[in-house]
Amino acid sequence: MTKTGSTDRSFLHRVRDALDDLHPAERRLGDFVCDFPGELASYSASELAKLAQVSNATVTRFVRRLGYESYEEARRHARDERQTGSRLFLAASSDAAAAQSVAAHVAQGISNLEGTFATITDVQVDAVADAIFDARKTWVIGFRSSHAFAEYLQWQMTQVVENIVAIPGAGQTLGEHLASVTEKDVAIVFGLRRRVAQMDAILTSIEKSGAKLLYITDEGVPHRATATWHFRCQTLAPGPLFNHVSVMAVCHLITTRAIERAGPAGRTRLRGIERFGDMLEEL
């Protein structure tokens, strides 16, 4: 693929690695690309040169120093990363100087919620809740930014579900848990940007176990037909960070629906939790 044969390094990793050795004009281009890598994914070499205020020849030398045979090869790599990588790939240089208003953030959050729930049905949410109640055990899995959502959902679901655990915990490896997953279980996997390299292997292992799989991702992940359910959350934002309001809303919906469908046993557990909560507060 490239002169260096470094197919395992990300596009941004290559740029950052090369910065200290670049000539001044190339360094200016490298700094620009580090801030707005999506510009390379979106524009031609001439357009990128104009944006970064360098010559076309500088762009050509720059991509070759990164190990690519051509600008098109570098752009294809950047486009691939745009689907699963840094939020920087979605930022544009034209937005850099402008502070985004509260209204813009609210509008984008509403749009994300509407876009997300347009693809999730009541039947699917009911099926997820029922499967969790019927399961021997529910495993909630998340890495990097996804870890916080996995722990949040597990914490909320303990209101009505006893056998639910968020993995991996501190100091734990995933293997010791995956070996215990069976066809009687449910696995809820959060796969938001950035996903770990072994995500597909983890999902395949869960699917082979026979467990029901709920895969919760951002909109950049293609639909996974082999998952029992795949909820794709819109995460677009007017600033440099992903907007995760729709992810939290999906967690809230699943938990609320589970409480609604828990029946007498669920209400008994909730009353017990409240009783101990009141007692502990009094102490």
Average pLDDT over residues 207-225: 93
pLDDT value of residue 237: 77
Same domain, 142 and 277: yes
Same domain, 238 and 276: yes
End-to-end CA, the chain = 66
Question: Per residue in 86-96, pLDDT tens?
Answer: 544 444 444 44
pLDDT value of residue 40: 72
* Residues in CB range of 213: below 8 A, 6 or more apart: 186, 187, 189, 203, 206, 207, 226, 227, 228, 229
Average pLDDT over residues 188-217: 93
Domain boundary among 78, 95, 112: 95
**Cβ neighbourhood burial of 233 (10 Å; 0-12, 13-18, 19+):** buried
Same domain, 79 and 214: no
CATH number at residue 40: 1.10.10.10
Same domain, 72 and 126: no
Domain boundary among 60, 95, 130: 95
Look at residue 1 and tell me if it is in a domain.
no
Same domain, 153 and 242: yes
Same domain, 211 and 168: yes
CATH number at residue 133: 3.40.50.10490
Same domain, 274 and 137: yes
Three-state DSSP class for residue 231? strand
Same domain, 66 and 191: no
| Residue listed under structure tokens 């969790």 | 132
- Reported pTM: 0.67
Look at residue 4 and tell me if it is in a domain.
no
Report the percentage of the chain scoring pLDDT > 70. Answer: 80
Look at residue 223 and tell me if it is in a domain.
yes
Same domain, 38 and 64: yes
Same domain, 80 and 184: no
What secondary structure letter does DSSP report for 101?
P
Look at residue 119 and tell me if it is in a domain.
yes
**Total domain count for the chain?**
2
Question: Per residue in 11-47, pLDDT tens?
Answer: 877 887 888 888 889 988 888 887 676 667 778 889 8
Split at pLDDT 50, 70, 90, the class of 233 is very high
Same domain, 144 and 256: yes
Average pLDDT over residues 113-120: 95
Look at residue 3 and tell me if it is in a domain.
no
Domain hosting residue 278, numbered range: 103-282
- Asked if the model's pLDDT at residue 146 lies above 90, the reply is yes
Look at residue 6 and tell me if it is in a domain.
no
Q: How far is CA 65 from CA 13, 14, 41, in A?
A: 13, 9, 18
Look at residue 248 and tell me if it is in a domain.
yes
